[in-house]
Amino acid sequence: MFIAVVLLAAVPGAAAEDGHHQHHIAVSGGIALHNSKNSGFVGIDNIYRFESNFALGVFTEQVRGDYDVNAFGEMFGKYFDNGWKVATDPGVETKIKENKNLLL
C-alpha cells in the first residue's frame, strides 16, 4: 500500500484527453447494519487513472458503533471506452474488539 500512496502523490493531477479527470477522490458515510446491530461509517478512496485507462488507488473505511471495523487496501483496475470498468480491491479488515484481521 505504501507504494501506491507514493505513486499517487508523485503524479501530478491533470485532465485526461477524453475529458475524465485522472484523480478521483470520493468520501462516503452512513449507517452500517449487520445482524441487528447499527454502526456509523466513513470511507475515503483516491484513484488515479493513467492515460492508458489503467487505474491505481487506495481506500480506507472506519466503522464505529455496535461493532468496530477498520478496512484499508489498494485498487487496481481498467477503464473501457464504453463506460465499463473492471477492478479488484485487495485489502485488510480489522475487527477491533475481536483483534482479528480478515483478507478482503
Tens-digit pLDDT profile for residues 86-99: 989 899 999 988 88
The span from the first CA to the last CA of the chain, in angstroms, equals 14
Whose CA is closest to 71, among 20, 23, 28? 28
**Nine cell digits for residue 69:** 471495523
E strands along 1-104, which residues?
Answer: 23-34, 37-49, 54-65, 69-79, 85-88, 91-95, 100-103
Sorted by where each begins, the domain ranges of the chain are 2-11+21-103
**Tens of pLDDT, residues 55-94:** 999 999 999 988 889 999 999 999 898 889 898 989 999 9
Q: Is the pTM of this model over 0.85?
A: no
Given CA atoms 63, 69, 74, 76 in this order, what sign does their dihedral have? negative
- Helix (H, G, I), strand (E, B), or coil: what is residue 52? coil
